[in-house]
Amino acid sequence: MKIGVFDSGLGGLVITRAFIKALPEYDYVYYGDTKHLPYGEKTSGRILNYTLEAVKFLISQDCAIIIIACNTATSIALRYIQQRFIPEYAPDVKVLGVVIPTVEEALEAHTAKVGVVATNATVRSHIYQTELHKIRPELEVEEIAAPKLVPAIEDNDFALAEALSKEYAAAFSNIDSLILGCTHYPLVKEYFRKSLPSVRVVSQDELMGAKLADYLHRHTEINCRLSQNGTHNFYVSKINKHYQLLANMLFPGIDIHEH
């Protein structure tokens, strides 16, 4: 059985790379729904339907554990998938999201005010604010939507992405930590760090590898089912030259299939 990773586009490849670096012996299947991105601008119903189709595909690829490496899909669809879909459709499969591990990481340092930059749908759901307040109710949270950032990254237009990152960073006031609440944003994390030099920037590529390793260590019943041949299979719902360039930047010589 394999580890499945799903994202609304190619940003989740950054998280997959972090998983492979931390746990290179396992077998991975990646699926990026490039046909329907950006998810952040879609309705909750559409996001749920797209995520369900992706999870079904990864289950068909023999994935015993699936990480929804998309913050938008995590915020809109994860609870339904965990509580309603998986128990009936594939009770032996575990589906995890990226929000809770990110919140845990953000709160490891003493912080009075946390900023969250994310897609429209993630900000609209207030999932980060909700989960942060569950652990620290008195915490100040400032959420800002960055709808133009994912399209710029997926189009491999990093000049525009840098300008947008500076613009969004400047909109925050007096934060001491910033959560990059989208798996595309590790690709622009240095722009945010440059714009906010005194702010601790929490980037998901830097924490998810250790979080998955810890999860598998604690859940031996899943770990013992996972094959360890070091294979990687990459699928997207639509391929074009921009996606190919971005994928090659993250995984040089990547063999990416359209599904």
> Phi first, then psi: what are they for 29, rounded to 5°?
-125, 125
Here the tokens at position 180 are 């990059």
Measured CA to CA in angstroms, residue 75 lies from 18, 21, 239, 258 at distances of: 21, 26, 26, 26
How far apart are the C-alpha atoms of 132 and 142, rounded to whole Å?
A: 11
Catalytic residue among 47, 70, 77, 117: 70
Confirm whether 70 is a catalytic residue.
yes
Cα 153 to chain centroid distance, Å, stands at 14
Catalytic residue among 98, 182, 236, 246: 182
* Cβ-Cβ contacts under 8 Å for 88 (sequence gap 6 or more): none
How far apart are the C-alpha atoms of 166 and 90, rounded to whole Å?
A: 43
* Cβ-Cβ contacts under 8 Å for 169 (sequence gap 6 or more): 117, 178, 191, 192, 195, 196
H or E, element range at 2: strand 2-7
Here the tokens at position 235 are 């699928």
Active site residues: 70, 182
